[in-house]
A and B are shown apart, each in its own frame.
Chain A
Amino acid sequence: MTGPLAVIGVGQSMQAKRRTVTIGALVREAVDEALADAGLGFADIDAVVLSKTPDLFDGVMNPELYLADAMGAVGLPVTRVFTGGSVGGHAAIFGAHLVAAGLARRVLVVAYSKESEGNFTWALSRGLPFSSHLGAGAGGHFAPVIREYIRRSGAPEHIGWKVAVNHRHNAARNPYAHIRRADLTIDEVRRSPMLWDPIRYLESCPSSDGSCAIVVTGAELARRSPRPPAWIHGMAWRTETGHFAGRDEVNPRAGRDCAADAYRQAGITDPAREIDVAELYIPYSWYEPMWLENTGLAEEHDGWRLVDADRTAFGGDLPVNPSGGVLSGNPTGATGLLRFAEAALQVRGLAGEHQVPGARRAVGHAMGGASQFHALWVVGSEAPA
């Protein structure tokens, strides 16, 4: 990277099953908040990057066109990225690239989903011709991978339930989150309906409407911004093909390579000790131990021990998803950017009630497809050396 980059503004909308606002208005909520946070007006933005998951989710094709006005993008270069569920992370990184390349001084990265406009479950489970209708749904793909993780690690069955409780309790401290359950118990999770063995209903992410926006800029302008910047210490993305024998979907190499590259840029050699908080893309509870291992925050097969020892709970030494994470709100097009943005809020000291005290370095992580797309960044309170 040519000179440090930083996030100087973060905005979000309230997440809910259904927001009775237009798509443009939903997006505008996050955009307005991000600009206000950065102390900027529309005229200060040089480029816009839009993150969104498949257009079939809400039926709007090439939404960058319709949203030009809502995003304040008229007269600006606009790019709409799509890389599966990791798109929010990819978009944040591409936005940073535009600044690093000298093509823009301040980039607005916008992400949203308004899945209530369409039929999300149908859009995901449409069968292809000449194929059996297995009717497995989204989790039907991930459940077998989780089963394999449990087999390899020997993790006890309550780990997933514990993660679900941690995240939903965390969400109670996040006014934007969709599902906020300060009262959730392990027993309630255990008794909730089984969806795809071993994933239970209360261990799964919801489908949400929501938006997120961040402003990324370079060091000179970051130092002038009214509120503390979140400095980007390292960022990376990696993709691996889904269809070949011997692919390890439990601990995908693309995820390991991605995290390793970002840590290398950040000068981090012992992530578990040097990272204070992690916002990881956890759509089903068991992905917390799996991604802890995949991103190098835990040794292989040991991720579940961190959960079991309460180290990843809000008061632990490596809190995961203090925002409540994906389990507490999943506007798929925005979810990745929310992880990146929440990491930024933590190191800026601006996470309000869900602020992890003393958070100096944080990881934001996003995943897409059948664990094929990975994006991760490390942000810090201080500018990198």
Chain B
Amino acid sequence: MSLPEPVETMASPLRMDYTYVAGAGRTIFLRGLAERRILARRCPGCSLVYAPAPEFCSRCLRPVGPPFELPGHGEVSTFCVVSFPFPGQVYQPPYVVAQIRLDGADTRLMHLVREVAPERVRIGLRVEPVWVGDDELATSTTSIRYFRPMEPADA
């Protein structure tokens, strides 16, 4: 009697559903986005301005101050050009993902930069947010569709 063929693979799909809790600090920022406001908060200890802001300064461990609105524009601190397909992409590559330092904030926000050819994006490029229409506004960073150069000549 011969042995059966060895089992080489077996499918064992897992599915796990979770609730995601944004947290008190993040909630303030997200609610601001739903109103087309970029809210920052300053740490009373070290004066760092966070946007988005946690509830506690991660250096001083004390609660950060009340939220205040930033103008929304800023500059590209660093960036990369995504050139290949990856899960979850909204736009066709190549496209630019950048770390943007908003005017008035000390932290950086990661987002898309569009309305400019990728090869013309540079560190220091001045950018402003492009908000979605009223029907798409949500407590989410998707309320900002992307950032674009402030000067059309830069595009």
Binding site for B on A (CB under 8 A): 20, 59, 121-122, 125-137, 139-140, 143-145, 147-148, 151, 193-197, 199, 201, 241, 243-246
Contacts and interface: CB of A to CB of B under 8 A. Distances in A.
Query: Chain B interface mostly helix, strand, loop or mixed?
Result: loop
B86 A147 contact: no
**B interface, size bucket:** 35 or more
B83 A197 contact: yes
Interface string B90-110: 100010011100000111101
Consensus secondary structure, chain A interface: loop
30 contacts: A20-B8, A121-B87, A128-B20, A129-B20, A130-B30, A130-B138, A130-B140, A130-B141, A132-B142, A133-B90, A134-B112, A135-B88, A136-B80, A137-B82, A139-B80, A140-B80, A143-B80, A144-B79, A144-B80, A144-B99, A145-B78, A147-B78, A147-B79, A148-B78, A196-B80, A196-B83, A197-B118, A201-B84, A245-B48, A245-B50
Contact of B59 (A194, A196, A199, A244): A244
A139 B83 CA distance: 11
B1 interface: no
B87 A59 contact: no
A241 B58 contact: yes
B111 interface: yes
Given A125-B88, A144-B78, A197-B81, A134 B110 contact: yes
A244 B107 contact: yes
B112 A140 contact: no
Nearest to B52: A243
Contacts of A137: 82, 84, 86
A144 B82 contact: no
B83 A193 contact: yes
Nearest to A117: B12
B114 to A, nearest CB: 12
The 8 A-B pairs of least Cβ separation, nearest first, read A245-B106, A135-B89, A143-B80, A197-B81, A144-B78, A194-B83, A133-B88, A137-B86
